[in-house]
Amino acid sequence: MQIYGIVDGGLAYVTNVAGAHVWSQTSGVAQSNRWGLRGSEDLGGGNRAIFRLENGFTLNDGRFSQGGLEFGRQAFVGLQSNRFGTLTLGRQYDFMTTNLAGFSSGMLTPSVFAFHLGDLDRLGAERIDNAVRYVTPEFSGVQLGALYAFGGQPGSLSSHSAFGFGASYHAGDFKAGAAYVQIHDFTAAFGIGTTVLGAPLVGTSSLGLLPRFQTFDKLTGSGFGASYQAGPALLHALFTMVELEQNGERASLHIMEAGVKYLITAAFSVAGSYARSTLAGMGWNQFVAGADYLLSKRTDVYLNLVNLRASAGVQAQLFTLPASSSSRQTVLSLGLRHTF
């Protein structure tokens, strides 16, 4: 068994929160704070029993994240086989996170603010309860997976259920991934600064949460991404599509992102990216720049800038921040991250 974790904290300056600029001590900018337990038991013949329990917390005040769940980040048990693959059961990520997040600026800059609108495309580590997930062994660089989540509502198989698929590939310096997920009775918790299908999605809390969470009949997400390591430069690109459905009406969010991460030295890197999002005639342009310096193998300092410009009449709202009073919002963050 192994204990592990991340402790990350910093200072942030936001240009517009409900019409005023804000200075704050911020928890988990590069990565969310966590500690966890993971382990495996050798069953012989290349087979293992595995488990993971992972807690999320806020550095500012020590509270549990993920709505106060003790192991809200991950909680699963399963079997792993060199020959047959891995089967796990519990609270887990879907393939939008595991197969696509590594191509996003949110991971590569790194900055939680660089994930997309309300994290509706689920790249910023969204989980699914009651999930059964299977991933094949890797064959010639290819790995496939499938997931099904039981809704747990008596008399209905589909209510609150979910299913998804994923594929990944790597060959030398090239990597690619694809994912699909469909979630029934999806609850939107984070704001995006506008109304969608009659539901007001403008977050006002200190964590960008909606005053009242909004439930949609269905969310369908899909996407693909790729990266190529060209010497010291990592080139990455990503496309995701999210369809929200409510009372027979649909709204589609399309996001395209491209960027580069460049190693100046083995310890110092810089990154930049651009993302374009469109939804129901509205548009958002997001610019991200960052620098990261390794003080050791486990500790780094970072400086990040994220700027969001929305269409006229739309309140800009970066992920996990309260909404701006205008169509623009910028956050500058300086922080320290330690892993163990």
Query: Using omega within 30 degrees of 0 as the cis cutoff, is the peptide bond preceding 110 cis?
Result: yes
pLDDT at 9: 96
DSSP 139: B
75 contacts 54 by C-beta, under 8 angstroms = yes
User: Distance between CA 11 and CA 127 in Å, rounded?
Assistant: 27
AA letter at 126: E
Structural domain boundaries in the chain: 2-339
301 contacts 295 by C-beta, under 8 angstroms = yes
Nearest to 122 by CA among 272, 252, 240: 240
Q: Give pTM, 2 decimals.
A: 0.94
User: Distance between CA 335 and CA 111 in Å, rounded?
Assistant: 10
User: Distance between CA 82 and CA 86 in Å, rounded?
Assistant: 8
Q: Is 101 helix (H, G, I), strand (E, B) or coil?
A: helix
Half-sphere exposure at residue 319, Cβ-oriented, CA atoms within 13 angstroms: 24
C-alpha distances in angstroms, 193 versus 42, 117, 163, 203?
A: 50, 9, 28, 7
Tokens of 209: 């949460």
pLDDT in tens, the chain (340 residues): 999 999 999 999 999 999 999 999 999 999 999 999 999 999 999 999 999 999 999 999 999 999 899 999 999 999 999 999 999 999 999 999 999 999 999 999 999 999 999 999 999 999 999 999 999 999 999 999 999 999 888 877 789 999 999 999 999 999 999 999 999 999 999 999 999 999 999 999 999 999 999 999 999 999 999 999 999 999 999 999 999 999 999 999 999 999 999 999 999 999 999 999 999 999 999 999 999 999 999 999 999 999 999 999 999 999 999 999 999 999 999 999 999 9
Q: What angle do CA 297, 6, 125 make, to 5 degrees?
A: 115
Nearest to 178 by CA among 256, 89, 103: 103
pLDDT at 157: 79
49 contacts 79 by C-beta, under 8 angstroms = yes
H or E element: which one contains 108? Answer: helix 105-108
| Residue 141 CA, distance from chain mean position | 24
User: Distance between CA 240 and CA 253 in Å, rounded?
Assistant: 8
2 contacts 39 by C-beta, under 8 angstroms = yes
AA letter at 242: V
C-alpha distances in angstroms, 205 versus 180, 202, 310, 321, 324?
A: 30, 10, 20, 8, 12
Q: Could you give the maximum distance between any two Cα atoms of the chain, in Å?
A: 62
9 contacts 19 by C-beta, under 8 angstroms = no
* Torsion angles phi and psi, residue 105, rounded to 5: -70, -25
- Sign, Cα dihedral of 16, 21, 22, 27: positive
User: Distance between CA 146 and CA 135 in Å, rounded?
Assistant: 7
Which residues, in sequence order, are bridge partners of residue 22? Answer: 14
pLDDT at 108: 97
Highest CATH level, class, for 2-339: mainly beta
Give the list of residues 6+ apart from residue 117 with CB closer than 8 angstroms, or none.
192, 193, 253, 255, 277, 279, 284, 317, 319
